[in-house]
Every structure is written in structure tokens, then in C-alpha cells.
Amino acid sequence: MQFPQVAAARGTLVQRIAPSQAVLGRFGPVFVVLLMMTVLTILQPAYFMTRENLTNVARQISSNAILALGEFVVILTAGIGGWGWSTAWR
């Protein structure tokens, strides 16, 4: 048996929590990356946020970024690529 006051309070609690869960679900990975950067900067300030390290990280992820961009374009154009047209005319 539930009391009406408890059910009403539970409903308002869910309404208050739902927007914060939506924000956390959408921006959660960004928050995690920022938290990791903060912790690593505090633990290793002489090494982590240096120009050399950031250049090294950018160099290491550049090939994956180019591949991801290509995949994004293929998904955006519904999988239509140049190679598909060349085989369609044979």
C-alpha cells in the first residue's frame, strides 16, 4: 500500500533527477576526460601538460582521426562511395 504523499514525492524526485541524468549521459565522456586530465596534471605536472607531450599525443591520434573522419563521411552520405559507382557501370 502506497501513500499518496510518498507517490507524489517520488514523482517529483524523478522529474528532478531526469534532466541531470540526460546531461550526464550526453556529456559524461567529456567529464571523464576532463577529470583524467586534471588528475594527471596534478600527479605529473612536469610531464603531462607539456608541449612535447601534447604534440606526441596529437601525432599518435592523427591517423585514427583521419580514418574516423572518412567513416563519418561514408555514414553521412548513406554509404555511397566512389568505388560503388565504378562497379555499377560495368
Q: Under a CB-based contact definition with an 8 Å cutoff, are residues 74 and 81 in contact? A: yes
Every domain of the chain and the residues it spans: 1-49, 60-90
pLDDT tens, residue by residue, 2-44: 565 555 555 565 566 666 777 777 888 899 999 998 999 999 8
Cα separation of 82 and 61, whole Å? Answer: 26
Q: Burial level of 48, CB count in 10 A (0-12/13-18/19+)?
A: middle
Helix extents (H) in the chain: 4-43, 51-76, 82-88
Q: Is 90 helix (H, G, I), strand (E, B) or coil?
A: coil
This prediction's pTM: 0.48
Q: What pLDDT score was predicted for residue 12? A: 66
